[in-house]
Structure 1
Amino acid sequence: MEVQLRELEILAPAKNRDIGIAAIDCGADALYIAGPSFGAREAAGNPLSDIEALAKYAHRYGAGVYLTLNTLLFEDEIENAVKLAWDAYERGCDALIIQDLGLLNAKLPPIPLFASTQTNIRTLQQAKMLESLGFNRLILARELSLEQIKEISDNCSVHLECFVHGALCVSYSGQCYMSSRITGRSGNRGGCVQPCRSDYNLIDSNGKVLIKDKPLISLKDLNLADYIPQLAQAGITSFKIEGRLKGVSYIKNIVRYYRAVTDNFLENYSGFKQSSHGKLHGGFIPRPLTTFNRGYTNLYVEGSRGEWNSGDSAKSVGEYIGKVESTSSDSRGNLVFSYKSQERIGNGDGLCFISPKGDVTGIRASLAKGKTVYTNDKISVPPGSELYRNYNHSFEKELESNMPKRLIEVRVNFTNKAGATTLEGIREDGERVCVGIEGVFERAQNREASLSAIKRQIEKSTGIYIFILERTDIEEVLFYPASVLNEARRALAEKLESVLITKNSNEKSASDRASLVTPVILKGKTLDYRANAANSYTKELYRQIGANSVDDAFEISAPEEAELMRCKYCIKFELGTCPSEGSKVKYNEPLFLENRGKRFRLGFDCKNCEMVIFG
């Protein structure tokens, strides 16, 4: 009996078509991308024609394209959202990622549905509810531990996806209303102004400033590359990279990084396989520290806390280089400095200094001579400052000029019997095609040389295929000109290109979802604004599964005071003053975050080990 291998997927973000193609070329198994609207990133919309072109490109490798339809929808938007879903389906998209549960009561196309991380999947109860509603995949909250992931996997039959890399929201996803409160721009509708990256004062109940002007709720970036084996064994099948607003160099670098990490896992562990086709050949070596990051954390994956705050800056400081030894000025007053490090700074590199007092300054290196750097900036940097590089000019050039080739392996059987020569090509997905070589050819004078020539001409790449001569069955060795063998190989590639790779899908169809008997999970419950019900479709769905009453979403009717964020992150823990960790430090509470005259009260739910921000 053949063992069924679990498919593992590297899921990459695509701000646009070109970035999506670059991600596929660097080894992504699937992409997620927004259409012209409702995509949870106002600055990352795309025309359907581009999505169709991207789907065609991805499908050549058996890779998927998922449309993000993951904002809360107002009543007058449902019709357009459903139309977009159908358009995406007809243009070749493989799944929809949705947040608004009201869409389940609308007439969606027969396409797999993925529950967005915005649906707040951080408990087994929530996971089972979404599974019962017919979702094919659940995108889990970033804050879960391996143990919690395994509990969900052991008790649910749907596919599980988790974020493994990129920016972290401080609040549980889908439960942040701070941007909406401050500016009217809702994070649940793609308009987040990122208040978690702002500087705040920490103030006690007497008005005393405990910490001044620091990004107190800005987190480091996630990096779970070292946990790919554990995540796969816990039940994750899709490893998601955050970054639909990131540029092409970031996507190339990080996707190739996770391709290498995952391939290493697949080579050393049985029971798993890549979900798409094609291996990378040549090209740049990934360097994850060189592209945008705020420092890295593994967050709560091990079930314990660490230092999650991004430090003195909410921006990317980059890779650590060393320390500033001395500074001076040139004749124009521009900064000149020397530094101590094993690394070398190059012309055009972007640099970041963090002074001993925590001040953050960014500049560009104009000219680097040895360990002395000349700039065009009239600034002062004290000796002893930490030096980081957040833009590596030479590496950026390499990312442009030294791309890998993604090639699908085709095994070739070369046969010459009864005067007929045929080549059978067997693609990675099992697809078989045949071509014949016609013509009259002389008997080879040197058998070994002729066989070597056949192997040499067949074992080349054509288009997206690389050919391997697996078997020869030859009654009489003939001399085939190189041009004839090359043409036969190209004919195999052309035939294979005309037959799309089909993915084995065990996804539920729309008819399957319609036949589900949904349990009354929310029987007797009253749901407040955190249920994110912004339309009648969503309210009706909640009533169908037992809710007594459903309040309007925050974006429809905001409470006078509300829980704006609930976080696994805790300021007290970061400051070393957590009472659960044995600290005896007492504050005059409540504590407040203050920014531009606005105060937000902090609450500490120590029973659940969570911090809450009210406002």
Structure 2
Amino acid sequence: MTIVQKGAPFIKKAAIELLAPAKDLAGGRAAISHGADAVYIGADRFSARAAAGNTMADIESLCRFAHGFHAKVYLALNTLLYDHELKNAKTLIHEAWNAGVDAVIFQDMAFFEMDLPPMALHASTQMHNMTPEHIAFLEAAGVSRVVLARELDLEAIGRIRKKTNLDLEAFVHGALCVSHSGRCWMSLAMGGRSANRGVCGQPCRLPWDLMDEKGKGISGGKHLLSLKDMDRSEGLLSMLEAGVSSFKIEGRLKDISYVKNVTAFYRKKLDAAMEIWGRGERASHGDSSFTFSPDPAKTFRRGGTDYFLYGRRQKIWQMDTPKAMGEKLCRIQSLEGGILFLEGAADLASGDGLCFLDSAGRMRGFHINRAEGKRVWPAPDALKGLKVSDVAGSVLYRNGDIRFRRMLESEKSASRKLAVTLVFREGEKDFVLEMGDSATGLCVEVCSGFDREPAKNPAAAQETVRRQLEKLGDTAFEAKDVLVETGPWFFRASALNALRREAAEKLAALRLEKYERPRRKPAAEGFETLSYPESSPDASFNVSNAMARAFYEKHGSIVQAMAFEKEGLPPGTRVMTTHHCLRYAFGACPRWHGADGGGSWHLKGNRVSFTLVFDCAACCMHVVSENAVQD
């Protein structure tokens, strides 16, 4: 039996990537099966999501699965590193390279000074990738891709695209970090938990009181810094035209149902946008089919915002609750005898999770026992103590669709297949099955010496062979066409099955063999003498080890202060800069609402307070710590 390679090498147009999160091996495989061109995953250390770590054995298994579709796996190693951790981090990257990982996502400049394998480098959004000058420096250093700051609009992305040849990765869906580029020290200030070390306490999701410069209360007990989730599903074509080549879904802490649903949704949306755009193609191979209709509102969702993609034009915040509300159903008419009466009928099922905001603005959630038309029977005592006035007129949401979740929990919620052509022909001595992969031009031939036994029904013989050969079953392949070029011979089904299985195994192995991982780009000529755009990096640049400090200083930048995680964070420190402006949110913006501006405002929490300083020229808000946490 022989294996051959036929066809010219496959030539790609612009590769457009849908990038999905992988909490673990199962989540990564699900993302690939549901249409992702690449996934990003954390190891058991040095990940910006410390709660989503994985063994290298699992990462290696995920790489094998992904590479079968020529999809990629990226290692998220985007935390700050201390001096004593550099050696361990370097070892981890070498292990990841040996496991098959395609690129590493990083934020620590020490990476440029390490002796690393030839793995591609992706600059994390924590590196504050906002300006063409900063990104041009990273390109010269040998970075292959930058993850753009979420705050950038289409015009800014377009300006960057004109100044660089790097891959531009941008977030399109999921939870939003309210601080610029995720560079936030609020959690560190409040409880010593550093977001830059992967253990953010998410104080932005807590309730706060808001006072003006005179101490007058503006708002009490609201989740003032809590944002809606990003949803740029209607802006994908505009992002393609602006120069984005990788579309990233957030969610390494989300469950597998979320990953399946959102990945499938964006697969369809991105394919449609690419068809209109017409200048690119998918970065991986194979088509996914789904047993459900993807709908992001049916899994974790805090509402949706395109988040400055078209400038400041939307309500980006969700101050009532940081929890998922889900899909909007209808309004509640009344509550009588423990039964909810709705203004409109809703297609509900026993076990669904519903929620609403009561008359005091508090979120109320419950499961239902049954529903008929406009009537809903909540679980016993779920709404105990509530009056009609508490619920009447409230919008009802479903944040737990039990039937939808059961569909997603099925292992067969999606199937991803590679189209192949099979040719069964008669040689001089043997019969030959040829299986060819149109995506790569690869082809295998497997031979077998069948006896030439005349078929009892010559007219149907070839069709019988064709039907048997197209049964590719649980393999990664799907028969696009089957050609039978033999005489009317009789073939045992078991023999044809064995030949088909062997061909599929050989083609799968050949695809893996011919898969080429991206390699780290060499630094540009003259990079050693190139100056970093910022001459005096302060603590906000997150320099946490001597190797990173030496890198900056080698490129003409004198580090003014090491990272707050190293030197501490005293009162009076700016812990966050955000485009989410509370003056704008409360109708007091000088630019948008003609207000007089006034002085600083204040956030008051249970044990800590912050001053809000407004930079109207830059249209952003700074959060400054006022006092240390009191034990």
Same fold (TM over 0.5): yes
Letter in 1 for 2:538: D
Counterpart AA for 2:425 = T
Kept in 2, the 8 Å contact 1:225–1:261? The answer is: yes
Kindly indicate whether residue 347 of structure 2 is the aligned counterpart of residue 337 of structure 1. no
Give the corresponding residue for 2:574: 563
How far does the alpha carbon of each residue in 1:459-483 deviate from its partner, in whole angstroms, 9 at most, with x for none? 2323111123254544x34343433
The answer to which of 448-457 and 358-367 deviates more is 448-457
Cα offsets for 1:508-546 (capped at 9, x unmatched): 35xx24976245333782221111101101111110111
Match of 2:393 in 1: 384
Contact 1:523 1:545 in 2 (8 A): no
Q: In the alignment, which of 222, 229, 248 is matched to residue 240 of structure 1?
A: 248
Amino acid at match of 1:364: H
Unaligned runs of 5+ in 1: 330-334
Q: CA deviation at 1:158?
A: 1.3
- Where does structure 2 lack aligned partners over 5 or more consecutive residues? 1-7, 626-631
Which residue in 1 is equivalent to 2:103? 95
Question: Structure 1 residues 460-469 or 214-223, which shifts more?
Answer: 460-469
Cα pair 2:146 2:167 within 8 Å, conserved: yes
Q: What's 2:316 paired with?
A: 308
Query: Deviations 1:266-301 (Å, cap 9, x if unpaired)?
Result: 444433121112212342221111111110011111
Determine the C-alpha separation between the residues in 2 that align with 1:458 and 1:422.
12
Of 42, 52, 56, the match for 2:60: 52
SS of match in other structure, 1:66 = strand
1:284 alignment partner, SS class: coil
| Paired residues for 1:587-602 under 5 Å | 588-602=598-612
1:450 is the counterpart of 2:461: yes
SS of 2:105's equivalent?
strand
Does residue 73 of structure 2 align to residue 65 of structure 1? Answer: yes
Cα 1:539–1:260 shift into 2, 3 Å: same
The aligned runs of 1:424-573 (5 Å cut-off) are 424-427=434-437, 428-444=439-455, 448-462=459-473, 463-469=475-481, 471-474=483-486, 476-501=487-512, 502-504=514-516, 507-509=519-521, 512-513=522-523, 517-522=527-532, 525-557=535-567, 558-573=569-584
Aligned residue number for residue 272 of structure 2: 264
TM-score scaled by length of structure 1: 0.94
Would the aligned equivalents of 1:166 and 1:242 in 2 still touch at CA under 8 Å? yes
Deviations 1:197-224 (A, max 9, x none): 1111110122111111111111111111
Aligned equivalent of 2:618: 608
1:47-85 Cα shifts (integer Å, max 9, x gaps): 212112221222222111111111011111111111111
Displacement of 1:135: 0.9
Q: Select the residue among 298, 301, 320 that pairs with 1:293.
A: 301
Which AA in structure 2 matches 1:71? T
| Residue of structure 1 equivalent to 2:595 | 585
**Which residues of 2 match residues 178-193 of structure 1 at below 5 A?**
178-193=186-201
Residue 128 (structure 2) aligns with: 120
Indicate conservation of the 8 Å contact 1:344/1:371, yes or no. no
Deviations 1:9-60 (A, max 9, x none): 1111111111111112212111111111010112111121211222122222
Shift of 1:586: 3.9
Q: 1:448 to 1:127 in 2, by over 3 A?
A: farther
Please give the secondary structure, in 1, of the residue aligned with 2:350.
coil
3-state DSSP of counterpart to 1:572? helix
Which residue identity is paired with 1:485? L
Query: Are 2:416 and 1:406 aligned?
Result: yes
* Superposed displacement of residue 358, structure 1: 2.0
Match of 1:200 among 201, 208, 225: 208
Letter in 2 for 1:517: F
Aligned to 2:4: none
Aligned to 1:332: none
Residue type at the aligned position of 2:579: K
Matched-pair contact (CA < 8 Å) for 2:34–2:264 = yes
Equivalent residue pairs, number:
606
Deviations 1:478-506 (A, max 9, x none): 34343333332212112112224344556
Distance 1:205 1:268 in 2: 51
Contact in 1 for aligned 2:67/2:515 (Cα 8 Å): no
Q: Could you list the per-position Cα deviations for residues 197-253 of structure 1 after superposition, in whole angstroms to 9, with x for gaps in the alignment?
A: 111111012211111111111111111112222222222121111001000111111
